[in-house]
Homo-oligomer: A and B are copies of this chain.
Amino acid sequence: MNKLFVLLWIGFIVILTTACSFAKNKPVETSPIPYILYLKDYGAIVNDGIDDVRAIKKALTDCNAKGAKMLVLEKGQYDFYPTFASERYCYISNNDEGLKRIVFDLKDISDLTIDGRGAQLMFHGFLSPFVLEGSQNIKFENFSIDYSRTFHTEAIILGYDAEGMDVEILKNFPFKVHRGTLLFTDGKKQNGELTTVSKSETFGSSHMLEYDTQKRETAYMVKDFYFSDINGFPAKLLGGSKVRICVPGLSGTIGNTMVFGPNHRKHPGFVLSDSRNINFYNVTINHAGGMGILGQRSHNITIDACKVTPSNGRMISVTADATHFVNCTGKITLTNNLFENQKDDATNIHGIYVQVIEKKADYTVIVQLKHQQQHGFDFMKPGMELELVHGKSMITFDTVTVKQVNRINKEITEVTFDKNLPANLEIGDAIAEIQDYAEIHIANNIVRNNRARGMLLNCRGKTVVENNTFHSPGAAILFEGDSFFWFEQGGVRDCVIRNNRFENCLYGVWGKAIIDVKAGIMENKDISRYNRNILIENNVFQIYDDLTLLNAYCVDGLIWRNNTVEKTMAYPKTGKLNKRFIVDYCDNVQIDDQNDH
């Protein structure tokens, strides 16, 4: 009896301890296992076509209130409409700021797994699927996200002449031609007459890019065709879904797919702002109106066994980068993912520079976020260490600590330092955060058929890129950093690129080498060294022509060894004489190309 009692007592203590350890800062739970809530208990029924936004909101409120650790969905389609979605003004780096309607609004939510169990989340209209802000320990798994009407539009090229191009717009991309302008719509009939205050909801478009319909990738060596600040295109309806785009200078191959890119990046799939420990496992992003996953000022992000891939026979998955990370810390892990057909790079990991526009007082400068899609990126905080960088040479010439910050508006901030402004600080110089730069591990991913580049490595933490396969129309790997156009802080310090396969890259116009190490250095090239300590080894380079494998500009420390070149006939020759290696203004570069034949 006594022994049994003691055992029971020990058991009770164990259970209590376990419960407490799960509950953390929440009220103590009586259940010893993580508390699970089921979305079906909140009125969300799959495949019924009815808006599930309110069910999500109630379930998330309950997760928070009850300290639930997991929200479980089920296999089937959930539908989400803007009407009841919550709303917040969001600044999203490299995407478009604005007042967003958010479905999974995870602001300040912690310790939660959302397990889709195979659910398909279908978004209808201008909606932001997931927004995290100050969120911690969040895991997403086993679901997909898609939109019923994509933010881009696809059409088949029927022919062209000097004055325009005829296309047939594919179904599921509704449109109208109104008074000489082609506008993409949601296909719903418009209500009421047009008035001085009419606002129809169109899926604005402002650029075009041709894709090879058979190969399902950007057509060989095509260029983006950009318009200036428009929603739609000068056009005439030819009948049915056939439209003449009345724009001189368009060309393309008959039968190829013309993609009309959106004029905004309003709704990235997942936005992670000022969050920590965010995990993605087996999540598929079929579409988003912007990037797939955007992390900013966040710590520890893991994306494993996920896919960015188009659905329903579409050419395009997300309309911008698959993933993108700005001023992040901790560890960024991208493993075992497929990133295909997104309308921009697979990833870009960088910091942000502001520009000095005025020396206001002995200790104070006025700085500006210059790039429009960085507006509102308020990263400076008292106590933060900053580097001061000469704008034209990109040389870091001093460091300071922030004492005070006075935000004027989304572009302009007054910053007071802990010490006098250095005498050599000039208007036009750049300032960025010195931080515990993230460690990057990118392994076993497939990147293919997207627009532009594969991966942009611009983080000063240890960066390892291994066992990936790239088939990119531009550079497979790009290093950059400048303070005159993108204002992205880069400059690797310890970067290893090994055991990757580069399969017939550079079939497009976005880059001059398969591994392209650039920097926006316009002055003092002789001494400015921006990227450092890059090891490129044991990779296989499949090339269809004598392409440049490596371009290195203003690099200090680069080793190229034991890489293999395989020649293919995958594309026509470029007709250009390309050097295998370009090395300009570099120190300590060793190139051993004995296997390159």
Contacts and interface: CB of A to CB of B under 8 A. Distances in A.
A248 interface: yes
Interface string A209-245: 0000000000000001011111111110000000000
Given A198-B226, A232-B230, A372-B199, A86 B179 contact: no
Contact of A179 (B227, B372, B408, B409): B227
Interface size class of A (residues with CB under 8 A): 35 or more
A97 B87 CA distance: 14
Nearest to A176: B228
A371 B227 CA distance: 31
A290 to B, nearest CB: 11
A230 B230 contact: yes
A194 B229 CA distance: 10
B229 A229 contact: no
Which secondary structure dominates chain A's binding surface?
A: loop
Nearest to A248: B180
Interface in A373-393: 373
Contacts of A99: 89, 97, 410
Contacts of A371: 197
Given A83-B411, A196-B207, A320-B196, A183 B246 contact: no
Contact of A229 (B83, B199, B343): B199
A272 interface: no
Contact of A226 (B94, B195, B224): B195
Contacts of A200: 228-229
Give this chain's copy count.
2
Contacts of A575: none
Interface string A398-421: 000000000011111000000000
A485 interface: yes
A556 interface: no
Interface in A246-261: 246-249, 261
A228 B199 CA distance: 8
A84 B198 CA distance: 32
A178 interface: yes
A89 B86 contact: no
A23 to B, nearest CB: 29
A410 B231 contact: no
A27 interface: no
A344 interface: yes
A530 B229 CA distance: 45
B247 A409 contact: no
Nearest to A261: B196
Interface string A186-199: 00001010111111
Contacts of A94: 197
A175 to B, nearest CB: 12
A324 interface: no
B179 A412 contact: no
A81 to B, nearest CB: 12
Contacts of A265: 197
Nearest to A249: B179
A337 to B, nearest CB: 22
A476 interface: no
A85 interface: yes
Contacts of A343: 196
Residue in A94, A179, A197, A235 with the greatest tally of chain B CB atoms within 10 Å: A179
A448 interface: no
A460 to B, nearest CB: 24
B183 A228 contact: yes
Contacts of A195: 226
A179 B230 CA distance: 10
A229 B192 CA distance: 14
Nearest to A357: B83
Given A196-B261, A261-B196, A344-B196, A229 B372 contact: no
Contact of A84 (B83, B176, B408): B408
Nearest to A191: B485
A64 interface: no
A101 B409 contact: yes
B412 A197 contact: no
A180 B246 contact: yes
A181 interface: yes
A564 interface: no
A202 interface: yes
Given A87-B409, A180-B233, 13 more contacts: A84-B412, A85-B409, A89-B99, A97-B99, A179-B228, A179-B248, A180-B248, A181-B233, A192-B485, A197-B371, A197-B372, A230-B232, A234-B234
10 contacts: A86-B408, A89-B89, A99-B410, A101-B409, A179-B249, A194-B228, A204-B229, A230-B232, A234-B234, A246-B246
User: What are the nearest 7 A-B pairs in CB distance?
Assistant: A234-B234, A194-B226, A180-B234, A87-B409, A178-B228, A180-B247, A202-B229
